[in-house]
Chain A
Amino acid sequence: MKILLVDDSSTMRRIQKNTLTKLGYEDVDEAEDGAQAIQKVAMTAYDLVLMDWNMPNMTGIEALKKIKENPDTKSVPVIMVTSESEKTRIIEAIQAGAANYVVKPFQPETLQEKISAVVKK
């Protein structure tokens, strides 16, 4: 399974990549913001995108909307992985097409459960 990991924090990308590797997901690309993410999603057939919310250049929610607006990319499942913890934000993301939502801080099992609920390994 090919995963795109989108987060402006190199620390969070490293933490999530290490977690994904431990969970058996080893084919992981990275993007530093929403703008990079939509470019990569348009070029590569990802099975899953893990998307931060607050990022410079283009936020995760904006990138999510653009991915879902594009007929070529709208079927790619996107899980938001963010420190935005309020219900209004979660509802906004789900309404925009997010397949699931993980609130930071998270434990590895939580990420595994959310991924499993969205895609089959």
Chain B
Amino acid sequence: MSSYSVKVEHINPFIKATIETFKAMMSVEIKPGKVKLKQGSSLSHDVSGIIGLSGGAIGSVTLSFPRITALKTVSAFVGEKVVSMDENVVDAIGELANIIAGAAKKDLAQYNINISLPSVVMGENHQVKEPKDVIAMIVPFETPYGTFDLAVCFKSEV
């Protein structure tokens, strides 16, 4: 079975949505790094927010954070200091992924995508797996709170 790589025109809306979401909700500028292929299934992060995509395209959008970056990001997001990885962090990371996936949809309207409710995975060096025949792309972001990764897995029929 041949592998399918995510196209630039498919990942760009998610990069744009991530930048816009941080600017609107946290008033910060964040900088995307070089897009790279996701190697293997393990992200060396501590918490991930995942949104499933269905409809005219299938895939997922994952935001993965190291612990400290997650705590600082959530603190800025909710406007209150958050110091431990509790259910508030889980909810906030999931909602952040939800907002970014939703914002990206408007630039991918031709695919009539539906987005799932968010799932959040916590745990050191946890694994997030995509379908075997789709190669996800990762975009590292630099923020005032540290770095995090955006992983996009997107497969359309056209």
A: which residues have CB within 8 A of B? 8-12, 14-15, 18, 54-56, 82-88, 103-107
Q: How far is the CB of B21 from chain A (nearest CB, A)?
A: 4
User: Chain B interface residue count: which class?
Assistant: 20 to 34
Q: How far is the CA of A12 from the CA of B24 in the complex (A)?
A: 14
**Contacts A/B (CB < 8 Å), 7 sampled:** A9-B91, A10-B91, A11-B78, A82-B102, A83-B99, A85-B105, A107-B24
Q: How far is the CB of A81 from chain B (nearest CB, A)?
A: 11
Tell me which residues across on chain B come within 8 A of A107, comparing CB atoms. Answer: 24
The answer to whether the Cβ of B135 comes within 8 Å of any Cβ in the partner chain is no
The answer to whether the Cβ of B50 comes within 8 Å of any Cβ in the partner chain is no
The interface residues of chain A, by DSSP majority, are classed as loop
Partner of B20, one of A14, A15, A84, A105: A105
| Contact mask for chain B residues 48-84; partner A; CB cutoff 8 A; 1 contact, 0 none | 0000000000000000000000000010011110000
Closest 9 CB pairs of A and B: A83-B102, A105-B24, A85-B106, A11-B92, A9-B95, A105-B21, A105-B25, A104-B99, A11-B91
A8-B117, A12-B95, A54-B115 known; A104+B88 contact, CB < 8 A:
no
Q: How far is the CA of A55 from the CA of B94 in the complex (A)?
A: 13
Tell me which residues across on chain A come within 8 A of B98, comparing CB atoms. Answer: 9, 54, 83
Q: How far is the CB of B71 from chain A (nearest CB, A)?
A: 14
